[in-house]
Amino acid sequence: MMNQKQPTIKSYLGIFGWLVVLTVIEIVAANLGLPKLALAIFLVGTALAKVLLIALYFMHLKFESGLIWWIPGIPMALAVFFVLMLFPDIVYHLTNKY
């Protein structure tokens, strides 16, 4: 069933604030000269956090039935599977990492 608690204008502004802050942090982090792997983990983490905020609040996933998660969930799982299956065949193959 649909979640009865609906977002308010205040909550939208709050999410917007978080998105801006996270973007600023990303830009700063990218210019800190961090090791590549650490930067990658950090940027992917912040990007996912921003994606979640947009999906949950702006796209209203938080306020819909829990079943709606299946709709974006299935293609996203397939997307991850697809890309991972390319790793042994292309990435490691090319760089001789195995």
Partner 1 sequence: MHNKTSKKSFIRKYIFSTDHKVIAIQYLMVGLLFLAGGGMMAYVIRMQVANPWQPIPFIGQILFPQTGGIVMPEVYPMLFTMHGGIMVFFAVTPILLGALGNYTLPLEIGAEDMAFPRLNMQSFWFLFLGSVLIIVSFFVPQGAAGTGWTLYTPLSSSLKVNPGWGVDLFILGLALDAVSILMGGVNYLTTFFKMRAKGMKLTQAPLTSWGVVFASVLNTLWLPLVAAALFMVLSDRRLGTAFFVAGPLAPVAGGQVLLFQHLFWGFGHPEVYIIILPVWGLVGDLLSVFSRKPAFGYKATVGCMFTICSLSGIVWGHHMFTSGMNPLVGKAFMFLTITISVPTAIFFLNWLGTLWKGSIRFTVPMLFSLGVMFVFAIGGLTGLFNAVQTLDIYIHDTYVVVGHFHYTLAASVLLGVFAFVYFWFPKMFGREMNQALGKIHFVLTFIFVNLVFFTMMYVGLHGHMRRIADPTAYEFLKPVQHLNVFMGKMTGLLVLTQFIFFFNFVYSLFFGKKAGENPWDAAGVVWTTSSPPPEHNYNTPPQIYCGPHEYGIENNGKDYVAQTNPKAAELTGAKNTQSQVDSGDTLPWLNIAKTGMWSFLISEIMLFTGLIGSYIVLRLGSASWPNPSEILNTTLLGINTFILICSSLTLVLGVHHAHAGNQKELRKYLLLTILLGSAFLGIKIFDYHHMWEHGFTMGGSLFGSCYYLLTGFHGLHVLSGIIVMLYLWVAAGNKEFCTVHSSRIEASGLYWHFIDLIWVILFAILCLL
* Touching partner 1, residues 38-97 (CB under 8 A): 39-40, 43-44, 46-47, 50-51, 54-55, 57-60, 64-65, 67-68, 71-72, 74-76, 78-79, 81-83, 85-95
Between the alpha carbon of residue 23 and those of residues 14, 16, 30, 46, 59, the distances in Å are: 14, 11, 11, 8, 19
- Is the sign of the CA dihedral 29, 34, 35, 38 positive or negative? negative
10 SS3 class:
helix
**Binding residues vs partner 1 (CB under 8 A):** 1-2, 7, 9, 12-13, 16, 19-20, 23-24, 26-27, 29-31, 39-40, 43-44, 46-47, 50-51, 54-55, 57-60, 64-65, 67-68, 71-72, 74-76, 78-79, 81-83, 85-95, 98
